[in-house]
Structure 1
Amino acid sequence: MKYIDIKGTDLKVSNIIMGNMRLKQLSTSEAETLIRTAMEENINFFDHADIYGGGECETHFAEAIGMNASIREQMVLQSKCGIRKGFFDFSKEHIISSTDNILKRLNTDYLDILLLHRPDALVEPEEVAEAFDTLHASGKVRHFGVSNHTPLQIELLKKHVNQKLVVNQLQLSVTHTPMIDSGIALNMNIDQSVNRDSSILDYSRLHDMTVQAWSPFQKAFFDGPFLGDLENYPELNTLIDSLAAKYGVTNTAIAVAWITRHPAKIQVVLGTTNVGRLKDSCQGSEIPLTREEWYAIYQAGGKILP
């Protein structure tokens, strides 16, 4: 397992993250097996959100692993807040109350990282700053970040927030690559040239923000996996399968390795509840794909090189 430093913190973390959005689908014993398998694979980073299962996934996680001080020391815990039923809410009151509830459900005194989950169009950054100051001063949250935010949305927060924003969690997979596409196809009159995310990957590297890639196997926004989709991605699957054979791993590992190969040192958020798939994914942590292989996968995923 490859570990990276999250800039602006003392955290040394696995570049594979166990995501817990679907954990409630498992029984307590199954959830425990999944979490312990992750730890045996040397994953030390666990991602949550207050909306996952209406909060029940966090409770289920803590109960399944028997959360205590000893176990807590082995984990980097991250959760997210800001999404409510039918609207987004970055008010001071909601951020603080959400965090208190997260801590209670996870049976811990602090979060290593708290993320703002989806941009709130009605955000008052002064309120966010007050909430962060309160949570940081109390020791309830050590570090802060965002999820699905653009560079200017981050800059607006940074104008008021005293703590460094260390993470941005964004969607990225072999077949969903807007943060890469426009930079490659600059000045071409094609769809790939459209800058849909304000160069967020370059911004993140310039400002030492760690990118965390969610839905690493999805075709698009929850449209199903591209792995095994021979109808829509025959060339891509053939190439990935051949590389899997070359490196002695599964196709899942190659899909992960395409992301971890990037020099931005991106973390991959796994949402699987399948123990075997989790272990297969971990094999992609350190596979040294060549430049030729990385670009070949990119093109087989449907993109062009000028």
Structure 2
Amino acid sequence: MTGTGVGRVLYGCMGLGGTWDDNPYTAADVRHAEAAIGAALDAGITAFDHADIYRHGKSEAVFGEVLAASPGLRQRITLQTKCGIRLPGNGRPGHYDLRGPSILRRVEESLTRLRTDSLDVLLLHRPDPLVGPEEIAEALASLHRQGLVRRFGVSNMSAAQIAHLQAHLDVPLVANQLEMSLHRRDWVEAGVLLNTAAATSNGFPHGTLEYCSANGIALQAWGALAQGRFTGSEPTPAGEVVRRLAARKSTTPETVLLWWLQRHPAGIAPVIGTARPDRITACRDAVRREPELTHEEWYELWTTARGTQLP
């Protein structure tokens, strides 16, 4: 189990809810969400990741429809959402907003859409450079006192940003969600490119993984399946290795990609974002089996995907 108690894999709900606009969702969108949620539960996934902006709130809303139609389901799952990003619209630019009143309002709106009384985890979606940690801490403390949110975390933040915020909080931050996959490898490359010329082109803040591990902050990997880059029909060198290892381990290519993340000692919990029930099912061995990649197989995947040898 990770520090958030979510288990080995989370289901990311960004693909649910229909179109990315203000048009209302349909009954077909609800049925689609029900099928995806059912596939995730059948695979052993009980943690569901949302954000208030996904499909303009419709991802949360269709999930709430499924919860309302499934008595007892809320008690069986971990429900996580994020706030802090405002999409462009009505003449305003897209921006970040972690002002206290905005956090409180967004959580109330998410609870309404999700048809639940409380969230298990709330993540701050992106840093807001205009808001100090004291104001954020006050809003989170209020949500915790009211019983509206049990635990808190962040997304897309560095060790320094997390430490700065944590210094003003009475409750521990329990998760950091970052983009991590066999395609997005800067998080692992940062640790080996020190003292090389290539280090200057790696933008990942070195020490973030180590800080999270040392402080009990669970790492969650969004984009874990790399948008199908290694499991699609187009052949790639890394995809060929993924498929060969999947056949050798009697599992699926999707599982091998997730195992590559889970094999890291930081205890990474992948977030799978596909809305296709068959691809969700293909991830079940990442929930049910320990990662079965040897040291050498893990490195083979890494070096093949990066296209060059390690320094």
Q: TM-score, normalised by structure 1?
A: 0.90
In the alignment, the residues of structure 2 paired with residue 107 and residue 254 of structure 1 have an alpha-carbon distance, to the nearest angstrom, of 35
Contact 1:68 1:107 survives alignment (8 Å): no
Contact 1:179 1:199 survives alignment (8 Å): no
**Residues 36-185 of structure 1 correspond to what in structure 2 (within 5 A)?**
36-66=38-68, 70-85=72-87, 86-185=94-193
- 1:13 has 2:15 as partner: no
- Provide structure 2 residue ranges, at least 5 long, that are not aligned to the other structure: 19-27, 88-93
In the alignment, the residues of structure 1 paired with residue 205 and residue 128 of structure 2 have an alpha-carbon distance, to the nearest angstrom, of 16
Give the total of aligned pairs.
293
In the alignment, the residues of structure 2 paired with residue 148 and residue 229 of structure 1 have an alpha-carbon distance, to the nearest angstrom, of 31
Contact 2:190 2:206 survives alignment (8 Å): no
In the alignment, the residues of structure 1 paired with residue 207 and residue 309 of structure 2 have an alpha-carbon distance, to the nearest angstrom, of 18
Cα pair distance change 1:194/1:31, threshold 3 Å: closer
Deviations 1:15-58 (A, max 9, x none): 11111111013622221121112112111100000001111110
Residue aligned with 1:146, SS: strand
Residue aligned with 1:283, SS: helix
Match of 2:32 in 1: 30
Q: TM-score, normalised by structure 2?
A: 0.89
Moved over 6 A (4+): none
Q: Which of 287, 299, 309 matches 1:304?
A: 309
In the alignment, the residues of structure 2 paired with residue 238 and residue 68 of structure 1 have an alpha-carbon distance, to the nearest angstrom, of 41
Match of 1:214 in 2: 222
Residue aligned with 1:12, SS: coil
Match of 2:259 in 1: 257
Match of 1:228 in 2: 232
- 1:293 has 2:297 as partner: yes
Residue aligned with 2:109, SS: helix
Contact 2:180 2:222 survives alignment (8 Å): yes
Contact 1:67 1:107 survives alignment (8 Å): no
Deviations 1:68-92 (A, max 9, x none): 6621110100000010131111111
Contact 2:193 2:199 survives alignment (8 Å): no
- Provide structure 1 residue ranges, at least 5 long, that are not aligned to the other structure: none
* Identity between Structure 1 and Structure 2 (%): 37
